[in-house]
Amino acid sequence: MSATPSLHARVERYLAERRRLGFGLRTPAYALRGFARHVHSVGHRGALTVEVMADWARRDSQGSSDPHTWARRLKNLRSFMRWLQQFEPRTEVPDDTVFGRLPERQAPHIYSEDEIADLLAAARRLGPTSGLRGIIFETLFGLIACTGLRISEALALRNEDVDLIRGMLTIHQTKFGKSRQVPMHPSTIKALRRYRSGRDLSGESAQEDAPFFIGTRGRRRGLPLGERQVHRVFEELRERLGWRNRGTHHAPRIHDLRHTFVVHRIMLWHAQGVDIDQAMLSLSTYVGHAMVTNTYWYLSAVPELMGLAAERFESFMAQPEVPDA
């Protein structure tokens, strides 16, 4: 392809077609538009080659020298290049041989109910006994475990986002830039109401635009609770509790509470005889996945659900064949 405006036009047409099919394309859109600008800036003419794609991938805005980073950038181009071949047959499609295969997505640690209960109890005991620190971390970890929120989403909550009358959270600062509403179980509402009451009685800001989870020490007092501090406290509790790691990450993580929520929900549906395929879209929307395929990943990658996936496959294979009409 020689004319850069034509490449930009192809990119926008591709993105429009994919969005009509329901794909979330924030990262690929950013990458493809950046690639089109790169092609223009280097004055490339003719068919798009793996060489020019690799050159763009190496020019990461962060100046990364990690081949895995380059491989991820290159992967964002792959589907577009296959699509482009219908108009420009000489277009090349990059594969894993350029920078090497990306590492497989790692399996999470799926917490047991006892482990979650122990975590909340340990958080509750955080000192000082007369302060808010214990109930803040107990409520924060409990909320993530009960709703599957990302840690960043929980910490971004404002008082106005937590509707304890309707039992609804409004999530604004999501990973993919979309807002969503998250209904809560009555027990979760009760726990949040207890925390908010204690926080307000301590004299902290109850204004609607004030942070829901607050720092309690030094210059951070009354300000949004910091993510680094949360991870530091979690690591302290993890060491104290001595869990045996059942995931492939270096140790159980806060984010694994979110994974645990998804896995337990799917297992509960299976036990209740719910049609998993019908329910997956609702679950994907609830936890804020960009694509429902991200939710289906659990069936093939999490040991607790691999048996369920096998059962589904065996059930499918056992169905009688229907002759062609």
Helix (H, G, I), strand (E, B) or coil at 170: strand
Backbone angles phi, psi at 213, to 5 degrees: -100, 125
Strand partners, 169: 162, 182
How many whole angstroms separate alpha carbon 84 and alpha carbon 92?
A: 9
Q: What residues are labeled active site?
A: 150, 175, 255, 258, 289, 298
| DSSP at 324 | P
For 163, the token pair is 């509707």
Backbone angles phi, psi at 182, to 5 degrees: -125, 105
| Cα first-last separation, the chain | 45
For 159, the token pair is 């008082």
Strand partners, 279: none
251-268 b/e (C-beta count within 10 Å ≥ 16 → b): ebbbebbbbbbbbbbbbe
How many whole angstroms separate alpha carbon 188 and alpha carbon 185?
A: 5
How many whole angstroms separate alpha carbon 287 and alpha carbon 110?
A: 16
Burial (CB count <10 Å: 0-12, 13-18, 19+), residue 287: buried
